[in-house]
C-alpha cells in the first residue's frame, strides 16, 4: 500500500491541523455505520483531500459518502427534528439570517417595507450576485408538513405592492425577487407557482445547491436546538441575543457571550462541551 503524506485541514477559525482519519471513522459510527462502512467512507474521504481543505468540506464529503452507503443514514443528532423545535420568532428567524449570511448573502434583518397600498413586515432583506430579495422565513413544528401555496401567493402580492411603490416613487427600495425559506418541503402546487412567479423557494432539500440542509452542512452551522440536554429557557435566552447555532458557542469568547446573553459562563461551557461532542468539526 502506498503511504500518503500528511494533509492539513483548515478549521473554521482559520487554524490548521493534520487530518485525522479516525475522526471520520468515529463520526460514521455515530451515524449508524458499522466498522467496515466507516473505514470505507474514511478511505474515500481521504482520497478527496487536498492541503488546506476546510473542515466543513470534509464533513460534506462524509455525509455524501455515508448517504451513498446508507441512503437512510441518521445524523449524530436529529437535524430536522432539532429545527422543528425552534421557536418561529426569534430563534428560527435569527438562524435563517445567520445561515444566509454564512452562505454568501448580505443580510439586513427585520424590515418594514413600504408598498403602494400598505406596509409589509418581512423577516430580512438579502442580497447576492446583484439580486435583492425580501425574505420570508416559514417555520413548521411538524417537519413532515408541506409549505403550501398560500405563502408563495402572499410573497408574490408583497413583491407586486413594493414594486409599484418603487415605480411611483413612494420608496427608494427596489426588490428583484421574493425568497421563502422553510425547514420543510414545498407542496407541488407551491413549487409550480413559485417557478412561474420567479420566487426563490428554499426548503429542506431544495434547490439542490442551496437547500437548508446543504447550507448547514457547507458551513457547519448546526442549531443549538439539536442539543438534547439544552433547556428551552436557556435556548430562548440565547436566541434573544442572536445566539442560535453551536458554532457561535464553540468558536465564541464565552466571557463576552455570557455578558451579552446573561447566561452564566459555566452553562455556556457545558453547552460548548456538548456541542463539540455532537459535531465532528
Q: What is the mean pLDDT of residues 3-26?
A: 82
Q: Which residue has the higher pLDDT, 107 or 6?
A: 107
The pTM of the full predicted model, rounded to 2 decimals, is 0.75
Please give the residue that has the higher pLDDT: either 28 or 260: 260
Cell of 62: 462524509
Q: How far apart are CA 27 and CA 71, in angstroms?
A: 16
Residue 130 has pLDDT above 60, yes or no: yes
Cell matching residue 28: 460514521
Angstrom distance (rounded) from CA 83 to CA 182: 10
Percent of the chain with pLDDT over 90: 70
pLDDT digits (tens, 9 = 90+) for 78-98: 788 899 999 999 999 999 999
Local structure of 236: helix, strand or coil: helix
Fold of 222-278: DNA polymerase; domain 1 (1.10.150)
User: Quick one: which of 91, 205, 184 has its CA closest to 138?
Assistant: 184
3-state helix, strand, coil in the chain (%, to 5): 50, 20, 35
β pairing state of 200-202 and 177-182: parallel
Boundaries of every domain in the chain = 8-69, 81-219, 222-278
The verdict on domain 81-219 having CATH code 3.40.1350.10 is yes
CB 35 within 8 A of CB 1: no
Task: List the single range of 48-57, 151-160, 166-175 with lowest mean pLDDT.
Answer: 48-57
Asked if the domains at 81-219 and 222-278 fall in one CATH topology, the answer is no
Across 226-236, average pLDDT: 92
Instruction: Indicate the range of 49-53, 63-67, 225-229, 230-234 predicted with least confidence.
Output: 63-67
Amino acid at each position: 500500500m502506498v503511504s500518503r503524506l500528511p494533509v492539513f485541514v483548515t478549521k473554521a477559525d482559520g487554524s490548521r491541523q493534520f487530518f485525522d482519519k479516525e475522526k471520520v471513522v468515529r463520526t460514521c459510527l455515530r451515524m449508524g455505520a458499522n466498522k467496515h462502512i466507516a473505514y470505507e467512507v474514511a478511505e474515500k474521504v481521504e482520497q478527496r483531500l487536498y492541503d488546506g481543505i476546510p473542515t466543513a468540506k470534509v464533513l460534506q464529503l462524509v455525509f455524501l459518502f455515508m448517504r451513498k452507503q446508507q441512503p437512510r443514514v441518521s445524523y449524530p443528532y436529529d437535524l430536522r427534528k432539532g429545527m422543528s423545535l425552534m421557536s418561529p420568532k426569534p430563534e428560527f428567524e435569527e438562524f435563517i439570517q445567520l445561515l444566509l449570511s454564512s452562505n454568501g448573502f448580505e443580510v439586513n434583518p427585520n424590515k418594514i417595507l413600504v408598498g403602494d397600498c400598505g406596509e409589509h413586515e418581512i423577516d430580512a432583506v438579502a442580497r447576492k450576485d446583484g439580486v435583492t430579495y425580501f425574505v420570508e422565513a416559514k417555520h413548521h413544528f411538524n417537519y413532515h408538513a408541506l409549505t403550501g401555496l398560500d405563502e408563495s401567493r402572499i410573497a408574490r402580492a408583497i413583491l407586486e405592492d413594493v414594486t409599484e411603490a418603487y415605480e411611483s416613487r413612494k420608496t427608494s427600495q427596489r426588490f428583484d425577487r421574493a425568497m421563502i425559506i422553510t425547514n420543510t418541503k414545498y407542496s407541488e402546487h407551491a413549487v409550480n407557482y413559485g417557478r412561474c412567479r420567479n420566487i426563490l423557494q428554499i426548503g429542506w432539500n431544495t434547490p439542490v445547491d442551496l437547500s437548508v440542509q446543504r447550507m448547514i452542512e457547507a458551513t457547519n452551522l448546526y442549531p443549538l436546538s439539536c442539543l438534547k440536554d439544552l433547556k428551552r429557557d436557556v435556548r430562548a435566552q440565547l436566541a434573544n441575543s442572536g445566539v442560535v447555532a453551536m458554532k457561535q458557542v464553540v468558536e465564541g469568547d464565552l466571557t463576552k457571550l455570557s455578558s451579552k446573553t446573561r447566561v452564566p459562563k459555566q452553562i455556556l461551557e457545558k453547552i460548548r462541551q456538548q456541542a463539540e461532542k455532537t459535531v465532528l468539526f
